Structure 1
Amino acid sequence: MINPVRFLKAQPRFFTAVAVGAVLWFLLPHGWRGSTRLLVTWDCATGLYLVLAAVMMARSDIGSMRYRAEMQDEGQVAILVLVAVTALISLGGTMAEMAAAKATVTTNGWQHVALACLTVLLSWTFAHTIFAIHYAHEYYEGPEHAPSEGLDFPGHGRPDYWDFLYYAFVIGTACATADVNVTSRAMRRITTLHCAFAFFFNATILALTVNVGAGFF
């Protein structure tokens, strides 16, 4: 059973972004469209998380990665599922915003388009960054001197967060792995889930783009 207190303490960046997003939702003008408020809130929260995650990655060494892997061993799957669901919901909001852009007869339609494009970019980056961090912690989970397993990176030296970010972003763009071999059942399961998510996410973006293009031209 997940310990709620430990779960909250183990994900400070994630829950900080959630808290900021919740506060922002109530502070934004209530006269805005619901989809606009949702997307602005989502963009600010995910943007904050990405900044905090980048700072964390830049300051981390292998020891701190092992420590976070031990701290965050609870609820990682729940976080992945939550991220996948919320990212897809954000795409639903994006579709609503694009519909508003097409229905707008004034020159303000471009603002809806810009917000929708920013949401897609941030959602894509956010989701695959979460997967990258999960890969890193799955890889380094266990005692300090225990052999790490699950992914075989070419070259020498222990992989850092940026190596796992590379792996996750390759899957995000190609829905497949590149020069990194998957060597454990747990990693194969997560990679399969990641590939399926990336396929449907990218397919939705493509369909959205075609629909918007047809509507404007």
Structure 2
Amino acid sequence: MTRGYPYARPRERYPSLPGPAPAVPSSHEALPLWFVSVSIRLSLSAVPRLAAAVAVGAAVGVAVGLSSDTPLAILAGIAATQTFFVVIGWIVLWPMDAAATRRNARREDLRPVAEEIVVVTVALCGLVGIVVFLLGNSDTGHAATALLGVFMAWAALHLMYATRYAYLYYVDSGGGIDFNSDQPPAYRDFFYFSYNLGMTYQVSDTDVSSSLIRSMVLRHTLLSYVFGTSILATAINLFAGILVH
């Protein structure tokens, strides 16, 4: 006991409270943020997605070529390229609401013109390549792979034009398409507009009031007719090959 303070106890020495966790070095936390930022920017733009799709198609073509003939490997590479581009595009763009669609469309700046040229060129080259390699190889495997490639090239074309319509609506034309709704359109609405044009060669329940969008609708429907005819011809070739064999 301490004199004069009968109930006093010796002062206990408590461990100090833990301080804040040490900061993560900036070099460690900047890399993931940079990687995520770049990944998002690349995924939102069609040209990087197309470049990734070409890389995937090349890998598939090489893999098929090691176990099969060269024409089938080329057809498989083209089909894989178009399929990857379409699937990734739908995964990235479909969930966006109207606000995200507007932001992404405005972020594109002048890139949509380049995207349209690149995607249409790749799709047409793929279509020509499929026809050329299919002429001398009409068996079921080649025809089925070619049919998949042509169909996915058709789907890639309309995916690209959906993003172009979104760009014109939110940036260049200040509208131009009446979706008969009080809500601003999202990418899914432009998908509806674009794929409807691709299947029917005309607008359905939407009105176009912009001359710039009308000119794009014209070349879109002309290209759709070319691809639709190619799909029909490839399907006939496939069924003819099945009947012959």
Shift in Å, 1:165: 0.8
Letter in 1 for 2:106: E
| Residue 71 (structure 1) aligned to one of 107, 119, 124 | 107
Distance 1:121 1:30, change over 3 A: same
1:100/1:112 contact within 8 Å kept: no
Aligned-pair CA distance for 1:164: 0.8
Which deviates the most, 21-30 or 80-89? Answer: 21-30
Question: Equivalent of 2:85, from 28, 41, 49?
Answer: 49
Specify whether residues 58 and 175 from structure 1 end up closer, same or farther in structure 2 by C-alpha distance, changes over 3 A only. Answer: closer
Query: What is the one-letter code of the residue matched to 1:156?
Result: D
Distance apart, 1:152 and its partner CA = 0.9
Summarize the alignment of residues 1-217 of structure 1 with structure 2, pairs less than 5 Å apart. 9=42, 10-11=45-46, 12-29=48-65, 32-102=68-138, 109-141=139-171, 148-210=174-236
> Aligned partners of 1:47, 1:211: CA distance in 2, in Å?
21
Name the amino acid aligned to 1:21.
Answer: G
**TM-score normalised by length of structure 2:** 0.70
Max Rg structure: 2
- What's the offset of the Cα at 1:208? 4.2
Distance 1:23 1:214 in 2: 30
Taking a change above 3 Å as real, the CA distance of residues 210 and 140 of structure 1, as seen in their structure-2 partners, is same
- SS at structure 2 position matched to 1:149: coil
C-alpha separation in 1, matches of 2:238 and 2:84? 28
In the TM superposition, what is the alpha-carbon distance from 1:25 to its structure 2 partner?
4.4
Instruction: Please give the alpha-carbon distance, in whole angstroms, between the structure 1 residues aligned to 2:84 and 2:120.
Output: 18
Decide whether the 8 Å contact of 1:62 with 1:158 is kept in 2.
yes
* Number of corresponding residues: 201
**What does residue 34 of structure 2 align with?**
none
Q: Give the superposition deviation at 1:198.
A: 0.9
Deviation at 1:129, TM superposition (A): 1.0
Residue type at the aligned position of 2:148: L
Distance (Å, rounded) in 2 between the aligned partners of 1:47 and 1:54:
11
State the identity as a percent: 27
Contact 1:154 1:180 (8 Å CA) reproduced: yes
Give the structure 2 partner of residue 3 of structure 1. none
Letter in 1 for 2:146: A
Residues 98 and 212, structure 1, Cα contact 8 Å, conserved in 2: no
Residue 153 of structure 1 and its aligned partner are, at CA, apart by 0.8
Give TM-score scaled by structure 1 length. 0.78
